[in-house]
Structure 1
Amino acid sequence: MIIVERAEPGDPATRALLQEWKPGKKASTTGRFLYLIARIGTEPAGVLEGHHDYGSWSDLKDYCHLGENDLGSYISSLYVRPAHRRQGVADALLDWFIEDARQERSVAVVAHPDEEGRGRGARIALNQKHGLEFARPLEAWDEPWLMVLPLS
């Protein structure tokens, strides 16, 4: 069974998972970011880093009418240990975050699937499975880069 819970940025499991994913990456201690840890039994299996104060709507054609007080939720990092992939860990983390965004009254959940080629297709498919779709950028941008799930 997968258990998802909030974690403190200084939590050893949070730090270890972020370092394992991207050596040198550290958890933010500003208080802005929310960290979720997924565990299978007692073993940390994955981590999600995000926040509920996204407001950069001006670059997105269908959302540029929103103002700075229309806050969304942003997923900045999602990592699952290789031994636990394809077991529902990422799904559990995303479900938890999306439900938390609804409770926080976010207007949308936003994610940026990294440009890195390896695994990008899987990240896009995972986001789409949870209802996120690429948002249309303003003409200044060549291609869509942010995925959005409207909540309101």
Structure 2
Amino acid sequence: MRAGKYAVVGGAAYEASFSRGSDGVMLVVPSRDDRPDGFEWDERYGWTRDVRWADVERIYEVETWARDAVGYALRVYMPPRNGRVQVVQPPGGGPYDDVPDGHPAYLVHNTYDREWQGTLPVDELRDAREIEHERDLAAYAEGRPDSPRS
């Protein structure tokens, strides 16, 4: 299951962190498996590698929705870690037509974000739907050294 930001470098897709006007992309390989070439260990993210915009082929975000056993529509916040996923329950039913009213007991209301949030085992999710949103690589790299437009 994918969720969040991704970048393609050297023909391979990686979890990624990127923002407009930054110097490039941070690629992430979250496992503790053998070190991928060119990556360094980071306690927070796992294996990471900074890449200049000129070396990035594509950036995109994956919006992932799934249902729990009762049928609540949940947005998966990030890819599974240790068999669990972080989820939020935004208003509405996402891509699903029929969702129950209320909120699952395992979610807690975050007053700052105004969302119901929590974690649950990934194997308790069903009917997952991934929606890819292409991002404009040139717009993110605009004005940065080694950008695709420079």
TM-score for both structures, normalised by structure 2: 0.22
Q: Would you tell me which structure has more helix in proportion to its own residues?
A: 1
Higher relative contact order (CA 8 A, sep 6+): 2
Q: Would you tell me which structure has more strand in proportion to its own residues?
A: 2
